[in-house]
Amino acid sequence: MNVPKKNELTESQARVLKTISDFIAENGYSPTAKEIAEILHITQTSVFEQLSRLEKKRYITRQKGAARTIGIMDDFQEKPVKNESLKLVKVPVLGTIAAGVPIFADENMDGEILVDESNIGKGRFFALRVRGDSMINAGIMNGDLVIIRRQPLAENGDIIAALIDSDATLKRLSLNNGEVLLLPENDKYSPINVTCRDDFRILGKMVTTVSVM
Tens-place pLDDT, residues 157-196: 999 999 888 778 999 999 999 999 999 999 999 999 999 9
pTM over 0.75: no
CA 176 to chain centre: 28
Distances (CA, A) of 59 to 50, 131, 192: 11, 33, 47
What homologous superfamily does CATH list for 88-210?
Answer: Umud Fragment, subunit A (2.10.109.10)
Q: Is 5 a catalytic residue?
A: no
User: What is the DSSP-derived secondary structure letter of residue 73?
Assistant: B
Q: Where does the chain hold its CATH 1.10.10.10 domain(s)? A: 11-76
pLDDT tens readout for residues 75-125: 554 344 444 455 778 888 877 666 665 554 455 567 777 777 777 888 889
CA dist., res. 92 & res. 72, Å (int): 27
Q: Is 34 a catalytic residue?
A: no
**Which residue in the list 57, 64, 87, 171 is annotated as catalytic?**
171
**Which residue in the list 30, 134, 205, 211 is annotated as catalytic?**
134
Q: Where does the chain hold its CATH 2.10.109.10 domain(s)? A: 88-210
**How is domain 11-76 classified at the CATH fold level?**
Arc Repressor Mutant, subunit A (1.10.10)
